[in-house]
Amino acid sequence: MENARVTGGGQKRAVGRPRRIEAGQIVDVTRRIIQEEGVEAVSMRRVAKEVGATPMALYHHVRDKDQLLMLVLSGLAAKVPRPDLPEEPRDRLLATAVHMHAVLSEMTWVVDVLSLGDLTDKGALWMTEEIIDCAIRCGLTPRQAVHAYRTVWYVVHGALVFRRADERRAASDPGRRPFFPDLVTPADAAELPRLAALSEQWEEITGGYDVAAQLAAVVDGLLAHR
């Protein structure tokens, strides 16, 4: 006999049938959790609960947490128009790196996911391709070009990780003062002369940090190795 029960109208309805969930629901819920609480708050059990299903039902859609996060990243890059890039390879490389930083600056929650390692959106790999290709066209060997790409990525990603951390601290404690540069006092001048001299100007100086200009310096330094 089928596992069913009779409703008030005499119709049978299956008992225990899993609630149907859509991939879009899974993505939306996972993204919201990351945006509000960070990627560490994501788990298969948590997402299943949020969409009103069991963890087993969720496993019918995704194999594990990594695949879940890949699903969340998938298609994001396609929503961002590609910029017009210059033809000269050095300038093209730099423009791609600056674009990468600008895009992620608008989607800082993605930085949390990318921090886990090799997770990415395939649609974003055109930037990796451009940077490596331009580096080779500038005279670097393929090995040097790959290393150059990784260095550029470390600069972009590192800048955004610190920015993301600052935003979170500011949100949780608006009146918080950073330990540095107040940690350095005139008494430290003998051991830390530069920092002691700059401590009072530190916020003003760092407030004018220009990522594009610093990336240009990094790119020129990397290309000097050819």
How are beta strands 12-14 and 4-6 bridged, if at all? antiparallel
- How far apart (Å, rounded) are the C-alpha atoms in residues 150 and 156? 10
And the tokens for 167? 């935003």
Q: What is the DSSP letter of 186?
A: G
How many other β-carbons are positioned within 10 Å of the β-carbon of residue 100? 21
Say how far apart CA 203 and CA 197 lie, in whole Å.
13
Interatomic CA distance for residues 20 and 29, integer angstroms: 15
Q: Distance (Å, rounded) from C-alpha 88 to C-alpha 82?
A: 17
Left, alpha or beta for 5 (phi > 0: left; psi -120 to 50: alpha)?
beta
* pLDDT, one tens digit for every residue, the chain (226 residues): 444 444 444 454 444 555 567 888 899 999 999 988 888 899 999 999 999 888 888 888 888 999 999 989 998 888 899 999 999 999 999 999 999 999 999 888 898 888 888 888 999 999 999 999 999 999 999 999 999 999 999 999 999 988 888 877 887 888 877 788 889 988 999 999 999 999 989 989 988 889 999 999 999 999 997 7
